Amino acid sequence: MSYEKIIYGCNNGVAKITLNSKANLNAFDHSLITEVIDALDKCESNPEVKVVILNGAGKAFSGGGDIAAMYKAINEGQDLEELVELAAQMAIKIKKLPKPVIASVHGPAAGAGFNVALACDLCIAAEDALFIQAFVNIGLIPDAGGVYLLTRSVGVSKACELALSGKRISAKEAFDMGIVAEICSIDELEEKTNKLALKMAKGPAVSYKNTKELIYKAQFSDFEEYLKEEVKAQVQCGKTEDFKEGMKAFLEKRKPNYIGR
């Protein structure tokens, strides 16, 4: 597959997948997710790849889902099922990849961007990083495994607060919650991420593989079954007037007028 929305490369045992759709803050659409999944498959099958870095080009890690594309699709009579299923596949690929995956986050990590970072094994964040469970702002639920990953990362109470409010949290707050492993300046982010990745690339690959498998069995063994329910719930939300109003309000840069508000 030739890539138009990511940059992929491998050097010294470290593969780097860079989200590269800068015009819309690396928002996830069908093409971007498909390319990320393909690159993850390459990482898995290539014995030279020992560690994977996932980062974003431009001003953000990822602004979340491509709302303009979703709005167009809904108006054309399509639903969200295929896109949500792809996002679920991406999260599973990251969690089950037998090699460490490091999220290197700067700027906004909103919606699916937040949850993709959560799916990674480690997250290094620049001081300007913002993490936002933005789904509720357009009448949706967290996808890409969001509720599942969030409750296991920060606990039920804090997950409820973040998912139901859509509030922004800083890199420092994310660090305090255990979402982020290390914070650094934006100027240091690439160097810090590369240093960690190169160190791990020289580490015990079989140990990493088995550790990830055991963590998955211990904490994520029903993840795939959960994702089936997530897709159903998101498709249901995607058929509501609240979702249509949420998308329209977002594109018009105003507050949504939800039913019953």
Q: What is the pLDDT of residues 176-203, one digit of tens each?
A: 999 999 999 999 999 999 999 999 999 9
Q: How far apart are CA 111 and CA 7, in angstroms?
A: 22
What average pLDDT does the segment 235-259 reach? 90
pLDDT at 71: 85
Q: How far apart are CA 112 and CA 130, in angstroms?
A: 13
Q: Is the pLDDT of residue 13 over 90?
A: yes
Instruction: Report the range of poorest mean pLDDT among 161-165, 207-211, 235-239.
Output: 235-239
Helix (H, G, I), strand (E, B) or coil at 24: helix
Q: What CATH number labels 6-187?
A: 3.90.226.10
Name the nearest CA neighbour of 49 among 99, 5, 87.
99
The tokens for 139 are: 């009448």
Q: Is the pLDDT of residue 44 over 80?
A: yes
Q: What is the dihedral of CA 84, 89, 94, 96, to 10 degrees?
A: 140
Q: Is the pLDDT of residue 109 over 60?
A: yes
Q: What is the dihedral of CA 5, 19, 100, 196, to 10 degrees?
A: 140
Task: Report how far apart, in Å, the C-alpha atoms of 34 and of each of 38, 74, 151 are.
Answer: 6, 20, 26
Number of neighbours of residue 259 by Cβ within 10 angstroms: 10
What average pLDDT does the segment 105-130 reach? 98
Is-contact 25 111, C-beta < 8 A?
no
Burial of 9 (0-12, 13-18, 19+ CB in 10 A): exposed
The tokens for 138 are: 């357009």
Q: Is the pLDDT of residue 259 over 80?
A: no
pLDDT at 260: 58
pLDDT at 41: 98
Q: Is the pLDDT of residue 258 over 90?
A: no
Q: Is the pLDDT of residue 261 over 70?
A: no
Is-contact 52 97, C-beta < 8 A?
yes
Q: Is the pLDDT of residue 80 over 70?
A: yes
pLDDT at 69: 85
Residues 6+ apart with CB under 8 A from 176: none
pLDDT at 24: 93
Task: Give the domain ranges of the chain.
Answer: 6-187
Over residues 133-144, the pLDDT tens digits come to 999 999 999 999
Q: Please, which pLDDT band fits residue 111 given cuts at 50, 70 and 90? A: very high
pTM: 0.95
Of the chain, the percentage scoring pLDDT greater than 90 comes to: 89
